A and B are shown apart, each in its own frame.
Chain A
Amino acid sequence: MEFEESWSQRIMRIDPSDYHYMKVRLEFEEHGIGLNAAQFKQLLVSALQELFGEVGAALPFDVLTYEEKTLSAILRVCNSGFVKLWSSLTMLGSYKGNKCAFRVIQVSPFLLALSGNSRELVLD
């Protein structure tokens, strides 16, 4: 890692964020199924429980934003639980008998990165 010339003050943090952030969207095979924020979070908790048991279900994470219309959310999870949460989302296949899947749109250790995703640029 090379540094530019000297600045008045500099702080450099390696792995500064204690958290990882995920932008996700839940898709159902059939239309018309809705969840409120609490139900959405409960679904994620049960996904963790299914894959990792009671200890997994106790993993703390936050639903920072939730849009009921599109079933999209931004999640925050501590770094040690990031892979567990992501793999739980991957393995979740249904909700109350309805087939569904999570799409992980973007992940980053920086929350600011989730507000600008160049892969969303559509120019047709």
Chain B
Amino acid sequence: MATLRRLRETPQHFLSCVMSSFHDPRPRHRHFVETHYYNYKVSFLIPECALLPKELKSLVTELGPYYLVKNLPLHEFITPEFINTFVKKGKLILSLDKDTYEETGLEGHPSKYSGRKSMRFIVSVDLMELSFNLNSKKYKRTSWSFKEKKPLKFNFLFAWHNTGAAESSLMSYFSNYHIQEHQPRVSGSSLGELPCPVLQSDYIAGLPGVLCGAPELFEWLGAVCSNVDQNNEPHNFISTYCCPQPNTALAKAYLCSITGFLLPEKICLLLERLRHYFDEPKLAPWLTLSVHSFADSPVAWREKEHGFHKGGEHIYNFVIFNNQDYWLQLAVGANDDCFL
């Protein structure tokens, strides 16, 4: 009966919205962005704008590259050479099902989302700690596990925050494996007339009948990004969706999306550039920047465990106002921490 009841329930989800300003002496927005490591898609929407602004054009095409390495054994990540060349400080975090976990013979802990009967386990290997003492029991056991006990191989995506020599060594370092370089895919579209919610930065929760709040804006943004028709009548058979009220009409808007394996440092740069869009007077009262995490990454923010459950969603969205105030929204599913 408990199982049936659980199957009938809709999954829990969380939306947290906070307000701050770029003039705040503590750059919390930067810290937030920099600690989201696994970013799949970035998109920004600029109201009352028909073309990609010049100041953003070069940055948008320079968010890559990233690399795909196929059938890479895990033991390559714990070699001193790899750690000293590429890893300043970091952990190798594995999210394993019960059988695989027991076969590795490594020490881990049950997933916080696996319920009473643990079917998923998390193993965390501190790479810097390992590299300091190659004769330690821990290093020997980890090495034995990855090379002999349970030699796991996966296809990996790599992105490296560095330029010049370090980048070329990534290609040459894995030259014995099948490594491909990829560039993020960029797509832009000019949107015609569309309704949009009326917002004011001071009123994050909205004002009934006067202003929309952050949750309404978040849903509307989803409709724009999915190209949903917003001009439906309540009696329409196909769809009754319409723009949240109160709303106003935009003459045009520009929507740009970049997908791939995107570095948080590059997203930070993009955020700064978008913030400075308002250095000169613009018709747009605000613009948005949304970032989607990888649905299947074992962590979403810092080392916080991320679970897929039914959707794997972990999205954050900035609403940047022309007075340099911003709203930051974080939307997560049942198997995530909402920490904003």
Q: Which residues of A contact B (CB under 8 A)?
A: 1-5, 7-17, 20-21, 37-38, 41, 60, 62-66, 74, 76, 79-80, 82-83, 106-119, 121, 123
Q: Does B186 contact A (CB under 8 A)?
A: no
Interchain CA distance A76-B12 in the complex, whole Å: 17
Instruction: A116 to B214: give the CA distance in the assembly, Å.
Output: 20
The answer to whether A79 and B10 touch across the interface, beta carbons within 8 angstroms, is yes
Q: A11-B16, A64-B223 are in contact. Are A113 and B228 (CB under 8 A)?
A: no
> In the assembled complex, which residues on chain A have CB atoms less than 8 Å from the CB atom of B228?
64-65, 74, 111
Q: Which residue of B lies closest to A77 (CB)?
A: B10
* B14 / chain A contacts, CB cutoff of 8 Å: 1, 12-16
Within 8 A of A (CB), among B41-81: 41, 43, 68
B 15-26 binary contact with A (CB < 8 Å = 1; else 0):
111111100000
Q: Which secondary structure characterizes the binding site on chain B?
A: mixed
- B180 in the interface, Cβ–Cβ < 8 Å? yes
Is B226 among interface residues, defined by CB-CB distance under 8 A?
yes
Question: In the bound complex, how far is the Cα of B295 from the Cα of A82, in angstroms?
Answer: 21
Q: Is the CB of A4 within 8 A of B340?
A: yes
Contact B226 A115 (CB under 8 A): yes
From B12, B222, B229, give the contact of A115 (CB < 8 A): B222
A116 touches B237 (CB 8 A): no
Nearest residue in B to A106 (C-beta to C-beta)? B311
Q: How far is the CA of A8 from the CA of B205 in the complex (A)?
A: 13
Residues of A within 8 Å of B238, CB to CB, are 37-38, 41, 62-63, 66
Question: What are 24 A-B pairs at a CB distance below 8 A?
Answer: A1-B337, A1-B338, A4-B340, A7-B19, A8-B18, A8-B21, A10-B17, A10-B204, A12-B340, A17-B219, A62-B240, A64-B223, A64-B228, A65-B227, A108-B311, A110-B331, A112-B315, A113-B315, A115-B257, A116-B225, A116-B315, A117-B295, A119-B296, A123-B68
Q: Which chain B positions have C-beta within 8 A of A107?
A: 310-311
A4-B28, A10-B340, A118-B40 known; A109 vs B11 contact (CB < 8 Å): yes
The 7 A-B pairs of least Cβ separation, nearest first, read A111-B222, A112-B222, A116-B292, A115-B225, A116-B41, A7-B18, A113-B313
Known A-B contacts A38-B238, A110-B218; A83 and B19 likewise in contact (beta carbons under 8 Å): no
Chain B, residues 195-225, CB within 8 Å of chain A (1/0): the string is 0000000001100000001110011011101
Q: Are B8 and A83 in contact (CB under 8 A)?
A: yes
Report which of A8, A106, A111, A115 forms a contact with B219, defined as CB distance below 8 A. A111
* Complex partner residue of B10 from A74, A82, A110, CB under 8 angstroms: A82
Whole-angstrom distance between the alpha carbons of A93 and B94 in the complex?
A: 39
Would you give the shortest CB distance from B183 to chain A, in whole angstroms? 11
Residues of B within 8 A of A21 (CB): 222
A25 → chain B, closest Cβ, in Å? 15
Question: Is residue B100 contacting chain A, with contact meaning CB distance below 8 A?
Answer: no
Q: Which residues of A contact B259 (CB under 8 A)?
A: 116, 121
Q: Which residues of A contact B16 (CB under 8 A)?
A: 10-13
Residues of B within 8 A of A63 (CB): 238-239
Q: Is the CB of A4 within 8 A of B339?
A: yes
Taken residue by residue from 301 to 331, chain B's Cβ proximity to chain A (1 for < 8 Å, 0 otherwise) reads as: 0000000001111010100000000000001
Q: With A and B bound together, what is the CA distance between A11 and B217 in angstroms?
A: 14
User: Which of A11, A16, A20, A119: most chain B CB closer than 10 A?
Assistant: A11
B337 touches A9 (CB 8 A): no
Known: A112-B315, A116-B41, A123-B68. A15 touches B12 (CB 8 A): yes
